[in-house]
Structures are given as structure tokens and as C-alpha cells.
Amino acid sequence: MLRNRRMLGIILIILVLAAGGAYYYYGNGSPSQAQQPEETTVATAQAIRGDLTITADGSGTLVPGAEVDLSFPNGGVLSEVLVEVGDQVSGGDVLARVDDADARRALVNAELQLLKAQLDLATAETHLLTVQEGPSDADLAAAQAALASAQEAFEKLVNGPDETEIEKLQLSLAQAKNSLWSSQLNRDATCAGPDANRCDTAQISVLNAEISVRKAEMELEALLESATEVELADARARVAQSEESLDELRNAPTDDDIDTAEAQLEQARLSLVQAELNLESAQQELEQTSLLAPMDGTVMAVNAQSGDKVSTNAVVTLADMGSPQVQFWVEESDLNSVALGNPVNVVFEALPDYTFTGHILSVDPALVTVSNTPAVQAWASVDLSANPVTLLSGMNAEVEVVAAEARNAVLVPIGALRELDAGQYAVMVVKPDGELEFRPVEVGLKDFVYAEVLSGLEVGETVSTGTTGSQSSSGSSTQTEAPPPGGIMRMFGG
């Protein structure tokens, strides 16, 4: 229970008071005897040096310093699970994998798209430079030559062939006929003889000569034929296109040309950025096919095995048991004792011979209910360095919160204090001659038994803690002023 130690202190005080009452009753006889004359004496105590510690007790449970459920963002079919429950892993270790064939194909495609985007950007940059610089002399000369050729071809179609060309083709035709006549004579003479092979060769020569004659006739006929309307239109279009190309080169670059080239370059840059993002996404998709440990820790659970199809649910649970914490609760009345940074002493039920130290890490801003009782919930660290034992998550623990400490302090019984005003106190110092001196003092920590005196009193000085009445006939006494009972605050005297 949360108040075990407080109740123990109260019970001890009650027992002491009960024993004192019994002693008084049986030692002094009947009430009528108490009516005899008494003499009053002063109860005193000495200021001592010691340690005063104020604590609050609670109970709790050991929890991991951090615990995470690990899953695959996109799910998949588990290809392998590399850990078992209880394994110790380091941050970055691979715990499990899902099939990554699709992710690898997507990565290769993204790499190709990036390469294409890089080439398109280089082309766009070169094109913009070319447009900005304008046409070269060679470009102009080539365009002029193309125009001249187109004009010449058009004029030839319009004007028809000249006499020289006609005479040239007629001469070629006459030569072909003469060659044919000669071949025929040679064939006739050869074939009249006994050599059949030579006759065949002569016959082939005649056939070739006939082909040459027909070719020359066709060329002459084509030259003499008039151009058709289609041919004239086609030739005229080539001339117009050549003229337009030449004009564009002479007037280049225009503002529209530059704007268009710049727009193409910007589009190529955007395409490259998109390709880079796609590649990064594909790389992440491939990386996410491996489940990595985000920290050093202990495997607490494995929820699937190789071959299982998993979604985004937890596959592995990992906990940091190297820096565990105690989740604990104290009563609402002890709220002021539970502050960030306050030291704690922790004893686990399974390890009663070991005390672990730590400090409070956090305190919940709202009360919780524990065993139908409002309680303050807090977390504290646990220092493992002093005790070479293994701690398991879920171990029950008793927690002592050290709210305040005064070491080697001047201490007086709480009954010696006289409260003058809120936070202001005085004591009655008993002088060596028995006289009482009223002396203001500065008070620090207090529990139900002792108070720390910061100034105004020295160790060894005697102070009054109240008065007692003594019967002259029996010598027995009754304490008329006693300190209040103690609680969960404890004093360790020095």
C-alpha cells in the first residue's frame, strides 16, 4: 500500500503515548492523588547535529525506457525474419525483409528516367545557346545553296530541256544503237561456227546492248516530256520552303524563338527534378522492404514468420531495456514531494537485497486512480551501473522519493519551536544559570519530530521543549506539552 510507512510511524507514536498514559495512571494512583500540590519544571533538549530527510513512498512497475512497434509501411510477403524474442539488437540492424522484386524494378525504371531527363536538359541547354547566338555563316550559306538548287529545278521544269541536253541524250541513244548493231553482227558470225559456248556469250552481249538502247530512249523521252502540274507544284513548294528557311535564319533569333527555347529549358529542368524525386521515392520504397532497428534494444515480440503476408500491423516489438524507467504512483497528499529531478530509491519485490537509485523524469499533469484512490503518476530513471543484475519489464517495485535533505544540520525537537508568524519562529534557550532566553531562529526543513535550524542556535545549546508538573510526595511527573505524532517524514540523527 502507498501509506505503509506512514501508518507504521503513526502506530509507533500512538504506542509511545499509550505507554506514557498507562505509566502516568498506574504510577500516580487514583485521580484524587493528582490534586496534591505540584511544582512546575521545564522540559529541555539539546540542539544536535544530524541529517534530516523528507520522503514520500509509492509503488510502481518497471517499464522500458522506450518501446516501439515496427511494421512495413507498404506491407508485403515476408521473405525472411532474422530475430527471435529476447535477441539483443543494435540500431540499424535488419530485423526482417519482405519480397523486394517490384521495388527493384521500379528503382531501375526510375534510374533510366533520370538519365533521359539529364540528356533532355543538356539538349535544351545547347538549343538555347544556339538560338541566342543566331545562325552561323555556314548555316546561311547552306540555306542559300538549298534555295538556289530548288529554284534551278523549278525553272527547268517550267522552261523544259535545252538543246544541248537533247543532243547529248540523242547521241547517247545513237551510240547505244551502234553498239547493239555491232553485237548482233558478232553474234551471227559466232553462232554460225561450231563453238556453242561462244555463241551464248555473244547472245548475252546482244541482250545487254538492247537494254542500253531502251534506257537511252527512255531518258530522251523523259527529257522531251512536259512537266506535270503536280511536279510544278512540288517544285514551287520546295522553293518557297527554302526561301522561308533562309529568311528565318537571316532574322534569327526573334524574341519568340528565345522565349520558346527558354520555356523548353525550364520544362527540361522540371522534368529532371521530378525524375530525381521519383528516384528518391523508389530508393525509399526499396529501403522500406527491410525492417530496421531504430535503436539498440531487446526484441520483445515477433508476430509473423517467413512466407506470411503482412500489412501495416506490427511485425516486431523492440524495447530499450538498457535505460529502463519505473512508472510509479504516490498518494495525492504527497504531490509536493514529487518534483522533476528529485532523487528516488527503488527496491524490486523480486530483488529485495538491491537498492537502485534514480531521479524523477516526468510527472503527469492529472491525477489517476489506483486501487480506487486518487494518486499522482510519475516516471523515474533507474541506474543499473551499481547492481549487476538483470531486470525484466513489468517487475513490481517500491519507490522512495527523496523530497528534501539536510545534511550535517543543526536539529531541535519540533516541540522547541514557538511560531511567531507565518514562517517565523523562536526558541527558548536555557542559559547555564537556568534563565530562559527568547531567541528568534531561522528554520529550514521540518518533519513531525525534528526541525532544522539554519541560524540563531548552535549545536549543544539547550532549549525548552515545554513544562512538566511534578508531585512533591511521589516524584512522578506529567508532560504538559508534547510534540505531535510523526508521519511519513523521517529523521536520520547524527
Please state the rounded mean pLDDT for residues 412-416.
Answer: 94
pLDDT at 467: 66
Please state the rounded mean pLDDT for residues 101-130.
Answer: 96
Residues 446 and 452: beta-carbon distance below 8 Å: yes
List the domain range (segments joined by +) for residue 399. Answer: 57-66+324-405
Residues 51 and 406: beta-carbon distance below 8 Å: yes
In a domain, 484, yes or no: yes
- 264, 299, 318 - which closes a domain: 318
Say which residues have a Cβ less than 8 Å from residue 421's Cβ, sequence separation at least 6.
Answer: none
Do 306 and 444 belong to one domain?
no
In a domain, 177, yes or no: no
Count: domains in the chain: 4
- 361, 383, 405 - which closes a domain: 405
pLDDT at 86: 92
DSSP code of 226?
A: P
In a domain, 103, yes or no: no
> What is the C-alpha separation between 173 and 28, in angstroms, rounded?
170
Say which residues have a Cβ less than 8 Å from residue 408's Cβ, sequence separation at least 6.
Answer: 49, 50, 51, 494
Is 50 exceeded by the pLDDT of residue 480?
no
pLDDT at 363: 97
pLDDT at 164: 82
pLDDT at 23: 40
In a domain, 194, yes or no: no
- Please say whether the dihedral angle defined by the alpha carbons of residues 435, 440, 442 and 447, taken in this order, is positive or negative: positive
pLDDT digits (tens, 9 = 90+) for 123-164: 999 999 988 888 888 888 898 899 899 888 888 777 766 778
pLDDT at 459: 95
Residues 254 and 210: beta-carbon distance below 8 Å: no
CATH code of 128's domain: 1.10.287
Beta-bridge mates of residue 398:
59, 347
In a domain, 470, yes or no: yes
Smallest CA-to-CA distance from 360 within 337, 383, 378 is with 378
pLDDT digits (tens, 9 = 90+) for 24-78: 433 444 444 444 555 667 789 999 999 999 999 999 999 999 999 999 999 999 9
pLDDT at 489: 34
Residues 106 and 282: beta-carbon distance below 8 Å: yes
Average pLDDT taken over every residue of the chain: 84
Do 33 and 48 belong to one domain?
yes
Beta-bridge mates of residue 375:
331, 368
In a domain, 328, yes or no: yes
Residues 105 and 249: beta-carbon distance below 8 Å: no
Please state the rounded mean pLDDT for residues 101-122.
Answer: 96
Please state the rounded mean pLDDT for residues 348-371.
Answer: 96
pLDDT at 80: 96
In a domain, 190, yes or no: no
In a domain, 142, yes or no: no
CATH code of 42's domain: 2.40.420.20
pLDDT digits (tens, 9 = 90+) for 202-254: 889 889 989 998 998 888 777 666 557 777 788 889 989 988 888 877 887 88
CATH code of 89's domain: 2.40.50.100
- Residue 182's SS3 state is helix
Please state the rounded mean pLDDT for residues 400-422.
Answer: 94
